Structure 1
Amino acid sequence: MFKIGEFSKVSNITVRTLRHYEKVGLLLPSKVDQQSGYRYYKAEQLGVLNQIKLLQQVGLSLESIKEILRSQDLSVLNYYYELREQEIHLELETLNAKKQLVEELKKQLKEGVSMEKYNVVKKQLAVRNVMSIRKVIPSFSDEGQLWNKLYLEAQKQQVKFSNQPSGISIYHDKEYQEANVDVEVQSEVIGKYKDTEEATFFEAPAVEIASVTFHGSFDQMSLVSQALATWIDANGYKISGPMMNISHVSPAEDPNPDHWINEVAFVVEKN
């Protein structure tokens, strides 16, 4: 058997880490001398230790590793592998979003950014017949699920959509929310249809809006919002209704962010 210091050398694991593994019940010494308190390990424990190191490398927690070692069940191991795979997928999405933001910032630094790029227009959003689904969803990234649901409901009644830019997202929360957001998706329709459990059909009233139409990804949203706020303040208007996004070329139509065209708007009225 090996003393803890010797075992540390042959395993390339610090004594401090070995003591921590013992404390959490992950890897116990083979023997503890009751008089001296010395810890002793066996050579065959290196196999367990190597398995621990491998599972840590894929990002599994010590608690998960402990459960895997305790069960020695392949189905349990597969469950944790699949769970970690899903977590890595989400981490990659987050990293890709950060990468795109860095690329956009570099582009802005190179080209220079002017508020004149974001032209604010005041106009009336006319009365229109719409199909609507409104729900509280976990996050803004889940908005696509509402659109999918809307189009599935439309197929049931063979709903005919207008040729006008038909996709309007309305954000009803009175303040910014990071989670559990109140979102409505609307599409302008031609004709009359019956409400379903998921969707309603109604005449949306005319509203005055201040809007900015921009090309590209939503990484520009902070600048778009700044341009809108500056215009609203400078021209004696106030926000009197929800924020909207009118989609002219959406991610569903073209996966390339460079080709997206969106119009962000606030419902406004004179002070």
Structure 2
Amino acid sequence: MFTIGEFAALGRASVRMLRHYDGIGLLRPAVVDPRTGYRHYRADQLGRLNRVVALKDLGLTLDQVRAILDDRLDVAELRGMLRLRRAQLAAQVAADTARLAAVEARLRMLDAEGRMTTEDVVLKEIPAVRIAELTGVAAGYQPPDIGPVIQPLYPELFRRLEVAEVRPTGPTIAWYEPEGDGEAVVVHAGVTVGVDPAAAGDVAVVDLPALPAAATLVHHGPMDDVEVSMQVLARWIEDNGWRAEGYAREVYLDYCPDATEKGVTELQIPVSRR
């Protein structure tokens, strides 16, 4: 026989948890001294404790653990329970991975803030341009909202243009406009072309109007870090007596979908005098 402290040490559990398992009927001691109330356990009970610890490590609840150990689940039910737990863990890993990427992007932003100044901003006129495009709708204008929407649009756009035998004549361009009265944004993923709209097959061809004045800035690196560049543009616009007129256009001067850290993008914000 083992005291509760000895049994806890052998089974990687705490004395408090063993008392709790006793209280809920999950693992009762072999003997309880009627005079002192001390609990004692047999060596063959260690197997059940080990199974409790292992199943808990999978994230199962104690009720689920008890059902498994007491053979109240058949194989199909046990398989379903474990598959559900697997899906929960996969979703948690995906969420944590996204949070990690956001933290890393924020750290890169903090590093970049000390290097970028409004001296990098250029005010210029943007000529009209014809683009072939596909569109999608994002929940908002922040990079985590835009990225998952715009990224699959470009491979599909290029595939359709290849089918229509249309060759791009210039850089890819993204532009945005509000969707209704909420925060949703229509995402336009386009590429410069020189064809008549009827020649582009099932791809829309539109003419982006000229911008008489635009505050522009060349952004280097992934678009997840674009907020720093947008802050620099906003500061320049405010300091120089201009007013922003809508969302920025993004001209991908060096489009690197497989190595986003090498990307070069010109941000163009239409502006007018206050």
Taking structure 2 as the reference length, what is the TM-score of the superposition? 0.70
Q: Does 1:231 align with 2:229?
A: no
Which residue does 2:193 correspond to in 1?
189
1:9 to partner: Cα distance: 3.5
Which residue does 2:136 correspond to in 1?
135
1:213 to partner: Cα distance: 0.8
Aligned residue identity for 1:140: I
Identify unmatched segments of 5+ residues in structure 2. Answer: 140-144
Q: Does 1:170 align with 2:176?
A: yes
**Comparing 196-205 with 45-54, which one deviates more in the overlay?**
196-205
Gap change, CA 1:240 and 1:66, over 3 Å in 2: farther
Q: CA RMSD in A?
A: 4.2
**Comparing 93-102 with 202-211, which one deviates more in the overlay?**
93-102
Q: Does 1:28 align with 2:26?
A: yes
Aligned residue identity for 2:13: I
Gap change, CA 1:40 and 1:202, over 3 Å in 2: farther
Q: Does 1:215 align with 2:220?
A: yes
* Partners of 1:157 and 1:193 within 8 A in 2: no
Query: Aligned with 1:241: secondary structure?
Result: coil
Structural mapping, 1:61-140, within 5 Å: 62=61, 66=65, 69=68, 70=73, 72=75, 73-74=78-79, 77=82, 80-81=85-86, 84-85=89-90, 87-88=92-93, 91-92=96-97, 94-96=99-101, 98-99=103-104, 101-102=106-107, 105=110, 112-116=114-118, 119-137=120-138, 139-140=145-146
Distance in 1 (alpha carbons) for counterparts of 2:67 and 2:9 = 26
Distance in 2 (alpha carbons) for counterparts of 1:78 and 1:141 = 30
Query: Aligned with 1:160: secondary structure?
Result: coil
1:89 to partner: Cα distance: 5.1
Identify unmatched segments of 5+ residues in structure 1. Answer: none
Query: Aligned with 1:221: secondary structure?
Result: helix
**Residue deviations 1:35-87, cap 9 Å, x none?**
999988733312312322542xxxx4648975994565457535644653464
Aligned length: 255
* Partners of 1:173 and 1:242 within 8 A in 2: no
**Bigger Rg, which one:** 2
Aligned residue identity for 1:9: A
1:248 to partner: Cα distance: 0.9
Distance in 1 (alpha carbons) for counterparts of 2:109 and 2:242 = 31
Structural mapping, 1:239-254, within 5 Å: 239-252=244-257
